[in-house]
Structure formats: structure tokens, C-alpha cells
Structure 1
Amino acid sequence: MSASYDVIVLGSGPGGYVAAIRCAQLGLKTAIVERENLGGICLNWGCIPTKALLRSAEIKHYMDHAASYGLKVAGTIEADLAAVVARSRGVAKQLNQGVTHLMKKNKIAVHMGEGTLTGPTSLTVKGEKGEEKLTAKHVIVATGARARDLPFAPADGKRIWTYRTAMTPPEMPKKLLVIGSGAIGIEFASFYNDMGAEVTVVEMLDRIVPVEDKDVSTFLEKALTKQGMTIMTGAGVEDLKATATGVKAKIKDKTGKVSEQDFSHCIVAIGIVPNTENIGLEKLVEMDRGFIQIDPYGRTKSKGLWAIGDCTPGPWLAHKASHEGVTAAEAIAKELGNKEVHPHPLDRNNIPGCTYCHPQIASVGMTEAKAKEAGYQVKVGNFPFIGNGKAIALGEAEGFIKTVFDAKTGELLGAHMIGAEVTELIQGYVVGKQLETTEAELMQAVFPHPTLSEMMHESVLSAYGRALHI
């Protein structure tokens, strides 16, 4: 069987399925190829189901601290891990069905199977319909990435886990080792700590969540330590062996001392590997460490072949992939003669990052250190949650909001937050950066009261010595 399209998207994650929908909206005959589940890793095994898990942990956290809110809970609070996981899988299933509906609604042909490129604009699909040969005017590669294994201790799904097993655990860890303190590692550390596990986090660099502003890293380490976690920075796991009953780890601390410690389980969260092998890309694109090199619109070096999402350079975030998908779709439509679309290149400085631990972290733009390294003279504002009425009323008075401005022009260079609901608040600064705002517009904006968002205003005021409530 063979078929021809205007656009074929290889991979149906948040980049791929959004790209397909936008192509269809623009009147292009579109197909999508998926080897596993519509919605990809993010929807089925990543962003969404992990947030469902973390929501359960958050509810348990509040129940454990009910007395702080003047409430009494009869008996002990126990986590039913199987029920928590079942709820998470139910959320993923519901959204998978939603993507299936969106494909039908937008008349996008779905080919389930393993796709292999035979040229820049052709591929074969081996799947439920046997082997299909597909051609298109343009092909978008959106094959995503997978968890990186430790070379000396690959995940076994029993004692050594990646995020995939950590979302559907065979049992509740009693003593958990988390290797890596990026968003994935810290989120699972936070989840299992709230669920009752004894958690140790090992980070090779000198601070946890190392891509964040240093002040955020320092605050988070104190908060997690207060919650009972053991945080080891400047440390490395030199050996890891699974046994019938647990995991033995040799950990070298920041002083150089090596100790052998026993854990019941280990989660490895040391980064990702792009899914770019064995799909026919070798002679068609340029790669760097397996990541497909693209221009700001998603074009590769081969005419008609595009790439988006986690198989391309970072940041490796679902919302970045979706945005790239729309950009590539509009650029393709323009090449095919649509004069109504005006694609814009992606500005990576305006991509927000969110980590859903407790407390939450969110940021956009440059850290204070990066801004100074780039040669800016900066004005920095900082406002604590303890100065905000809504935060105190919520019982969430730990955290702060930090803003970084160019001292010469007032341009907003970056914003960094830690505390309750900051993953929702950050979008205000994202919009501000996209609109190239300065401190003047932010100062003049009226923020509703009482809200957490007032801290954003106060942080801006603080950068210019005008904060009202500290």
C-alpha cells in the first residue's frame, strides 16, 4: 500500500501532533506516523501523568499538615500507591483518547507503526497494516528522546528505574536513590518523599537544579532538606549494583570520600538520548551528539525535511516542541504558496521552564549570573512570599520571586520563582518578554489583590528600590 501527502509527521508527541493539526488547519493533506501511543512520551509517560502523581502527593502533603489549617483528620494518612498510579494512568488514557479525537476532527491520516525514512520526503511504515510506502512534499521528524542510562548500570525495571518505571512502580520504595537533580529527578524525589520514602539525591554539579538561578537552587536545597531529603551536590555515583533485595551504590562526595550505601531502589535521571538512530537520517541531516541540527524554522540540510522537539537541540520541553511544530507547519505552508501565514523564528530566550516539585520552580530568560556574563549591568529585584497576604492565607509563605533587568534600558532579561503556583505565574513574565517590555510597563500594570501575582509587581518595584511591602 502507498499514499501521498503534503506533509507527513514522524512522531505524535506534543511537537508532532500539534504540527500535524496546524498543517491540517492550513489546508494541507497531512499524515502522522506513530509507533506506540498517540500523544507520545509527554502525554502518556511524561508531563501529564507525572503531574497527576504529583497532585496526589500534594494532596497527601496538605492532609499531613491539616492541623496547620485548623482541621483535624481522624486516623493516619496512608498512601495507596496502586490507586495513585491508577489515577495517573487514567488521566493519560483520557488525554490519549483526546489526541485520537483531534486527529479525526482535523482529518489527519494516522499510520501506526515503525517509520523509516527512505529519502528526505519518503518513508516506509511497518505496522498493523503490514508495510506501507508513504511520500510527501515535506516530512517533519518529531521522534523525541528517551532516558539516558548509566553506562555501568542500565535500568532493569526492578531495582534501577528510569522515569518510565517510576510512574508505574512495581512497589513502593523504602529508601530511594535519585541520580540527577534536573526537573525529572527532583520531581520524582519530591513525589516519593511526600509518599513516605526516605530519599537521597545525588548531583554531580555543585548545586541542584543547576540550570536555574543560583538563589533558587540554594532555596530549594534548604526546603528539600527541611522536608527530610538528603541532598549530595558535587557528588557522583561510581558504582551501582542491583541485588535481589535492593541496590548497592558507591558514592563519592564533594570531599572525595567514597562510601557504600544501600537503597531499596534507584531512579536514574541524568538526561536524555534523542531517538534518531536507525530511522534513515544518517545521510540526510547534520547531527551533534545525535540531535538533528536545524535552522530557526526547523529546516534540516535536506530540502523538504524538517525536525522539531526533543530530537533537536534544547531546551527539551514539551511546550518548546509544540511551538516548533506550529512554526515548521507555517513555514511549510508558506513554501507551498500560502501567503496568509507569517512564521516567526523561535526565540529560545523566551521559553519558560517549570519544575513541579514542592515548592514549585519556574523561570524564563537569563539568570542573574548569565546576564552579567553577557556583559549587562543589571538591576535585580527580589520579593519574598512572606510579604504577600495571599501566600500567608494559603499557608504557603515560603519562596520568592526574582527579576533581572538591564540597568541601561529597563529591558526584562529574566525572571525566577520558587514557591506555590509559580508554574502558573511565570506566564505573565513570558508574555512581558515576548512583548519586549521594560520595567516601566510592568510598574504601571495593575495587579489584582489579593493574589500571588502581586509579588511579580513587587519584585519589579524592588529592582528599582520601590517595593511597598518589604
Structure 2
Amino acid sequence: MAYTSYDVIVLGSGPGGYVAAIRCAQLGLKTAIVERELLGGICLNWGCIPTKALLRSAEIMHFAKHAEDYGLKIAGEIEADLDAVVKRSRGVAKQLNQGVTHLMKKNKIAVHMGEGTLTGPTSLTVKGEKGEEKLTAKHVIVATGARARDLPFAKADGKRVWTYRHAMTPNEMPTKLLVIGSGAIGIEFASFYNDMGVDVTVVEMLDRIVPVEDKDVSAFLEKSLTKQGMTIMTGAGVEDIKVSGTGVKAKIKGKDGKVTETEFSHCITAIGIVPNTENIGVEKLAEMDRGFIQIDPYGRTKSKGLWAIGDCTPGPWLAHKASHEGVTCAEAIAKELGNKDVHPHPLDRNNIPGCTYCHPQIASVGLTEAKAKEAGHEVKAGTFPFIGNGKAIALGEAEGFVKTVFDAKTGELLGAHMVGAEVTEMIQGFVVGKTLETTEAELMNTVFPHPTISESMHESVLASYGRALHI
């Protein structure tokens, strides 16, 4: 069987893979993409986008339950139609999947549906709808992503023990839900089901929830979620789970060392990810670390012509990081193939924002105050609460704050951390500022529109230097 040849083949069509393919095509490269399931990958079909659709339904539910706070009356009991909520979420995912399909056609990218296996740094076979195909290219980009990690003593069965994928298409509404892990995925689903009226318990082995965030954000979020009715257990661990036809029985060791046994109707495991790098032929071609492909700042592996991006490479494991890597990688390949008009820039991991879409939302970029001090910086940090912001009060969303961290000697913006309404939309202002290497002076002299919640960003900068105006 003859090989079909391309300039670039991308293995995997998630937000890293399909963006890399589009950028390669824009740069005039003959490009193909290989996908075993659905164009758009996990993020678009089973992750970032459909979960936000679910969370939007939960947000509307929350506001409906609190309509009287806004001078409104809603007659009758507010109920969630689980099937309709899930149907809407799946419809959003389908629409975007079709959008990616259109983008492949628009950019003349060949799509090979099937399981791809590398046979060398720049060749692979695809077993799928067309039987077995042999493909070769000048360069290959591995973008196979990752999947949820199972508990060793309770593998997800889709019935009582769920991963995020099962939690997005539940066959029934839980009555009492155990969420193991308080990272972004765990907290988002805990927030969704709590707003839907489920009794939710979150167990986190570390001493605070969302442990990668600034400790002030973690403390605020725990207080808020507890006030909403969640049970939060930190410094705790699930030691065993027994699954039955009616629920799960979990042995949980608390921070005091005592082990209690509690029954739940369902359990969500959100304890991390496993890279999808087994059985694709990459182990002999690239340096690996715990299954993750090791790369240089442009995505190169140790084998010439073989590149990797996204969740199958070192973190942070975020869709927007994967997309950015895809563009960088595509431009680096084009440069190697003789394009003198592209100037790829390596990824600066300090400028990658993180967003969690729980209620209230959290968002951050750069160093926490503790990490900045650990790195040797003398810091100036300031916090401005939403209770001092007119727009937040008018929206009925006065819980939250913005915190900024600066280098005291140079004024460099080291980090920004937010919790509250719409902060996932606001964080990009600080991301742009960090990318432009701004200092407190530029931020203080920036005019922020009134009335907006974003004014809290300005006030937090002023607060870092003892100049806050509205608190």
C-alpha cells in the first residue's frame, strides 16, 4: 500500500490539534489531521464547552431560586429537567463539532478518521473507516490529549462511579454526591450539582480546595461553597469505596485521622489526568516522563520531524495552552520548511491564565503571593472586595475580590487572582498586562470604564500601593 504524503500530519483534533492544523494550512502547508472519535476532541465535545453549557443552566437555576432578591416573583416550584439540560449541553457540543468540520473543509485539511499509530517520527498508519491507511509527512504533531485518572480501588463504571464524561450525561440526578478532588473539574461539577439541588460533599487530600490558586481565593471559595450548602473536607482522603446497585459506600479519613463510612448515591472522581500516549508508537521516538511527551519550548521532541503539544505534554493542562502551543509549533515547522516570514515565540507559562467556572467563578494568572515570596521577590500585594464596587452591588453579586501581586522593587506585575462574578472574562486584562510586561504605573494610569466590575482590577492595583479609593 502506497503512502499518502503531506507536509504536516496532526494526530488528534482537540483544541491543540485542530488549531495547529489550521495554522499549518494558513502557512501554505499540505496538512492532514487524524482523529479516532470526534473532531474537536475532548474539550469541545466532552470538556470545556459542554460543561459550561451545564453550568449556565445551573446559574439560571440559581438566579431563579433567588428571584425575590431582585424584586421578582416566580410562581410555583423551580425544577430542573435533567434530560433537557443535558440535551442542551450536547446540542452546543454538536454545533461546535460541526464548526470544526467546516473549518477543516474551509482550510483544505484532509481528515482521516481512525486510530493513528506512529511507525516512525514522520510516518503513521490509520485504522478506521477506510480500512488501513499509510500516511507520511515531513513533520508530525502528536496532540492526543489526556483522559481522567481512575481511582485504583474504584474504577469508573458510568453508573455509580463517574468521571467528568459520565457526569455530563447522567442517566439520573444524584441525591447525595461525593466529589473526590477539588481542582477545576471537581469543583465545577460540585457547583453544578449543588445548584441543581443535590447534597454535595467534596473531599480534597491537600489542606485547601483549588490548591493551585492563591490561598486567599481558596479560603474565600470554601466559605462561599459551604454557605451554599456543600460539605467541604480538606486534608482528607477516600480510602475505600464499595459500589452497589443503589449507591456507593465510602470510607473517608478526615484531617483528624478518624475514618468514617458514609453512603452516597453517586461519586465523581476528579483526581487528575492520564496522557493518551500508550499504544501510539511514541515511546521509542520521544523522551517520556510518566507518560507525558517531553518537548522543547516550540514542541520539538528528540526525534527530528516529530512534535507534540497539549495535554499529552507537560502542564498546565488547559485548552488555551494547547491552542497556543499549536500555533507556535505550526510556525516553527513552517520556519524549518523555509518560510522566512514567520517568527514563532516560545510559550511563557507564567502568562497562562487559569479559569474555574464554579459559582462564584475564580480566575488567575502568574504567581500567587506565596509563590512570589518563595521565588525571592519582595512583594506588594493588594486586595479589593466587590462590596466596594457599584456594578457588583447592582448585579446582586457583591461577594468576591481581586488581588494583585507586584515586585516591590521593579513594579512588575507578578500575578493576579480573582473570585466572583464574571472574573473569567476579566482576567484577560491582566494577562495582556503581563504579556506586555506592564508595571503598576501603567495599570494605575489606565482608565477603567464605569460602572463595571473591572474597576475592581484598578482598585486592587491601587490597594497594592496603599492608594485604593473606594474602600
In structure 2, C-alpha distance between the alignment counterparts of 1:103 and 1:3, rounded to whole Å: 18
Q: Which residues of 2 match residues 77-226 of structure 1 at below 5 A?
A: 77-226=78-227
Deviation string, structure 1 residues 11-50 (Cα, Å, up to 9, x no partner)? 0000000000000000000000000000000000000000
Q: CA deviation at 1:303?
A: 0.3
Q: Which residues of 2 match residues 349-368 of structure 1 at below 5 A?
A: 349-368=350-369
In structure 2, C-alpha distance between the alignment counterparts of 1:54 and 1:8, rounded to whole Å: 35
Q: CA deviation at 1:276?
A: 0.3
In structure 1, C-alpha distance between the alignment counterparts of 2:47 and 2:283, rounded to whole Å: 28
In structure 2, C-alpha distance between the alignment counterparts of 1:96 and 1:281, rounded to whole Å: 27
Q: Which residue of 1 aligns with 2:35?
A: 34
Helix, strand or coil at the partner of 1:401? strand
Deviation string, structure 1 residues 251-273 (Cα, Å, up to 9, x no partner)? 00000000000000000000000
In structure 1, C-alpha distance between the alignment counterparts of 2:27 and 2:353, rounded to whole Å: 27
Q: Which residues of 2 match residues 361-440 of structure 1 at below 5 A?
A: 361-440=362-441
In structure 2, C-alpha distance between the alignment counterparts of 1:460 and 1:292, rounded to whole Å: 39
Q: CA deviation at 1:341?
A: 0.2
Q: Which residue of 1 aligns with 2:234?
A: 233
In structure 2, C-alpha distance between the alignment counterparts of 1:287 and 1:428, rounded to whole Å: 36
- 5+ residue gaps, structure 1: none
In structure 2, C-alpha distance between the alignment counterparts of 1:333 and 1:299, rounded to whole Å: 13
Structure 2: which amino acid aligns with 1:312?
A: T
In structure 1, C-alpha distance between the alignment counterparts of 2:124 and 2:367, rounded to whole Å: 40
Q: CA deviation at 1:188?
A: 0.1
- 5+ residue gaps, structure 2: none
Structure 1: which amino acid aligns with 2:203?
A: V
Q: Percent identity?
A: 89
Q: CA deviation at 1:241?
A: 1.3
The two structures, once aligned, show a CA RMSD in angstroms of 0.4
In structure 1, C-alpha distance between the alignment counterparts of 2:152 and 2:349, rounded to whole Å: 31
Helix, strand or coil at the partner of 1:460? helix
In structure 1, C-alpha distance between the alignment counterparts of 2:284 and 2:18, rounded to whole Å: 26
Deviation string, structure 1 residues 379-414 (Cα, Å, up to 9, x no partner)? 001000000000000000000000000000000000
Helix, strand or coil at the partner of 2:257? coil
Deviation string, structure 1 residues 230-284 (Cα, Å, up to 9, x no partner)? 0000000000111010000000000000000000000000000000000001110
Q: With structure 1 as the length reference, what TM-score do the two structures score?
A: 1.00
In structure 1, C-alpha distance between the alignment counterparts of 2:333 and 2:241, rounded to whole Å: 48
Q: CA deviation at 1:85?
A: 0.2
Q: Which residue of 2 aligns with 1:297?
A: 298
Structure 2: which amino acid aligns with 1:385?
A: F
In structure 1, C-alpha distance between the alignment counterparts of 2:284 and 2:449, rounded to whole Å: 56
Q: With structure 2 as the length reference, what TM-score do the two structures score?
A: 1.00
After the TM superposition, which segments of 4 or more aligned residues of structure 1 sit over 6 Å from their partners?
A: none
Q: Which residue of 1 aligns with 2:63?
A: 62
In structure 2, C-alpha distance between the alignment counterparts of 1:27 and 1:258, rounded to whole Å: 61
In structure 1, C-alpha distance between the alignment counterparts of 2:81 and 2:283, rounded to whole Å: 47
In structure 1, C-alpha distance between the alignment counterparts of 2:388 and 2:405, rounded to whole Å: 19
In structure 1, C-alpha distance between the alignment counterparts of 2:171 and 2:144, rounded to whole Å: 28
Q: CA deviation at 1:418?
A: 0.1
Q: Which residue of 1 aligns with 2:445?
A: 444
In structure 1, C-alpha distance between the alignment counterparts of 2:312 and 2:283, rounded to whole Å: 13
Structure 1: which amino acid aligns with 2:222?
A: E
Helix, strand or coil at the partner of 1:251? strand
Deviation string, structure 1 residues 280-305 (Cα, Å, up to 9, x no partner)? 01110001110000000000000000
Helix, strand or coil at the partner of 2:419? strand
In structure 1, C-alpha distance between the alignment counterparts of 2:251 and 2:145, rounded to whole Å: 32
Structure 2: which amino acid aligns with 1:242?
A: V
Q: Which residue of 2 aligns with 1:279?
A: 280
In structure 2, C-alpha distance between the alignment counterparts of 1:289 and 1:202, rounded to whole Å: 25
Structure 2: which amino acid aligns with 1:260?
A: E
Deviation string, structure 1 residues 168-221 (Cα, Å, up to 9, x no partner)? 001000000000000000000000000010000000000000000000000000
